[in-house]
Structure 1
Amino acid sequence: MSKSKNNKISNVLFAVFILLLLIPQTRQPIQVFLQKGLALFSPAVEDKSDQERLDTYQWNLTDLNGVSYDFKSAEGKVVLINFWATWCPPCIAEMPSLVKLHDDYKGKIQFLFVSNEDKAVIAAFLKKRGFNLPVHQPVSAVPEALNTSSIPRTLLIGKDGSIVIDKTGASNWNSDTVRETIDKLLLE
Structure 2
Amino acid sequence: MKTSILYLLLFISYFISFSQPNVEQLMKSEKVRSYIGKKLPSMNQFTLEGEIYNAAKSNGKPTLINFWFIHCKPCVDEMPYLNKLKEKYDGRMNFISMTFDNEINLREFLKTHKFNFTHVSTDTNYINEIGVRFFPKNVLLDKNGIVKVVTEGIPDFKDAHGNTLINLGIERFETYLNELFD
Asked if structure 2 preserves the Cα contact closer than 8 Å seen for 1:57 and 1:143, the reply is no
Structure-1 separation of matches of 2:143 and 2:40: 13
| CA separation of 1:140 and 1:159: change in aligned 2, threshold 3 A | farther
Structure-1 residue corresponding to 2:68: 84
Structure-1 separation of matches of 2:125 and 2:117: 22
Asked if structure 1 preserves the Cα contact closer than 8 Å seen for 2:98 and 2:121, the reply is yes
For the pair 1:180 / 2:175, whether they are aligned, the reply is: yes
Q: Residue 74 of structure 1: CA displacement?
A: 1.0
Q: What SS does the corresponding residue of 1:149 show, helix, strand or coil?
A: coil
| CA separation of 1:77 and 1:147: change in aligned 2, threshold 3 A | farther
Structure-1 residue corresponding to 2:84: 100
2:133 aligned residue (138, 149, 171): 149
Structure-1 separation of matches of 2:136 and 2:177: 20
TM (norm. structure 2) is 0.62
Structure-2 separation of matches of 1:184 and 1:109: 12
Matches within 5 A, 1:30-109: 52-74=36-58, 76-109=60-93
Q: Residue 144 of structure 1: CA displacement?
A: 8.1
Q: What SS does the corresponding residue of 1:132 show, helix, strand or coil?
A: coil
Q: Percent identity?
A: 25
| CA separation of 1:140 and 1:62: change in aligned 2, threshold 3 A | farther
Structure-2 residue corresponding to 1:166: 150
Q: For 1:19-42, what per-residue CA distance to the aligned partner results, in whole angstroms no more than 9, with x for missing partners?
A: xxxxxxxxxxxxxxxxxxxxxxxx
Deviates more, 1:111-120 or 1:134-143: 134-143
| CA separation of 1:150 and 1:56: change in aligned 2, threshold 3 A | closer
Q: CA RMSD for the aligned pairs?
A: 3.0
Q: What SS does the corresponding residue of 2:57 show, helix, strand or coil?
A: helix
**Paired residue total:** 138
Deviates more, 1:174-183 or 1:105-114: 174-183
| CA separation of 1:56 and 1:150: change in aligned 2, threshold 3 A | closer
Unaligned residue ranges in structure 1 (runs of 5+): 1-49
| CA separation of 1:66 and 1:76: change in aligned 2, threshold 3 A | closer
Q: Residue 92 of structure 1: CA displacement?
A: 0.9
AA aligned to 1:157 is L
Q: Which has the bigger relative contact order, CA under 8 A and spacing at least 6?
A: 1
Structure-1 separation of matches of 2:51 and 2:170: 32
Q: For 1:90-119, what per-residue CA distance to the aligned partner results, in whole angstroms no more than 9, with x for missing partners?
A: 101111111111121121111110011121
Q: Residue 156 of structure 1: CA displacement?
A: 1.2
For the pair 1:122 / 2:117, whether they are aligned, the reply is: no
